[in-house]
Structure 1
């Protein structure tokens, strides 16, 4: 027995709905003779008569009514199957895992995400909290697709990973406008001796925190960290209330207050922000996002 295909089902349902070959042919965008041939072929495959044609139109036989109901159900199931399959494949292709330290609040992330969503409206972003060294390992093991963060001088472990420098951050000291250091043009670490200092928590970025401590040690200064924060806004509120001086990257300390001054600091680790992704990456989604990040950083 020859197989029944989707075309047979669609054509039969079309005729059964219209009960008229001419109208059904027009609706299905086929010629009436071609439609008649397909219905005749279907009846031959089944070995039963499904339709009775007379001058007034078409009448379904009892077998035809049963076949119509079954055909409608099968076509609906097939449409659902196609939709679910395509949606699943589409979603899989449109997922991207990125890693960063969210505390840094890098200014180019949101504009880049906006551009990515314009090009890929259904993209799903899976964000992971990782420092650069963790990002590189996660890229190699395919846990993430893109990493964004500061790569310290002693952390160049980027074998099998592509890198792109996007931002040269600066260290700033946030101080009350009435503080004795408020009029200084550039802060040296020795200027901070015996000052109450606020810094990001070591849990935020352990390698960078340790590098900051090492910088103070080289300057022979024991930093008096009175508060370690996971939220830059909290640190700035403490500064505003004269509870201490806050160290942070310029891109972290973007929230400005009239009664706080922001002074460049010398002697701390470089804040060179990079994008990381796998070498030989073939995903258009990933490569597009890399470009959006780089372009947004350039505009910032």
Structure 2
């Protein structure tokens, strides 16, 4: 078998994500016939069919599903390799650190910089959606993450835990309370994935089998891109969210109230980097983070 062509893999992933050759071709800025030929060539190289196409549309075969699962990390690793090589060619040693909202990496960054005066350290703010993507594609060397994450392809080292609070509108009936129980929130509209707060999910399902924050009287949860967007919905009285305690300190505002929720698990803060990377700087940063960052 010949070596896998990364360009063909990128074409395949575009089609697999859109399940539409026309839209994938537009995204890739190539003609649809060219894209179709490249996909056929990739199928010939593997000796399998990757897509089923009929009048109803395009669907992945079992082989296509497997290739999609493996292609994404492979392409991300290729992007990471390219970024690291380009940074090395710049003649200045650099080290990039991802961090989630509420997490302060300044102490660790300063400690590492003091040990390596010529090292340029760049912090990069991440979100729930990309806190591990930035590791896979090489935008950062390490990322201070909040669990849960998909650990595949990553080395993950726990740092510390912190309590979580519930955010609600300032005029919410529970807004004056310092502490609330998870059962008090079972009827609320949750503006985040229930899997992130399994304690709420289980109580809400017991309260109502149609719960999970998506009951018939509640609209679907939008695809939020930031904490700020979620808090706008909270302030408008359209639901609640659970946040780590440190995030609360960064988003104090008069139209939002916070309360401690002692009967949900704390948030785990960890350090993540690409599995298999043997970097003395990464190990040194991990040791400093363990010493500097405990809550």
Superposition TM-score, scaled by structure 2 size:
0.49
The answer to which structure has the higher strand fraction is 1
- For the pair shown, which has the larger CA radius of gyration, 1 or 2? 1
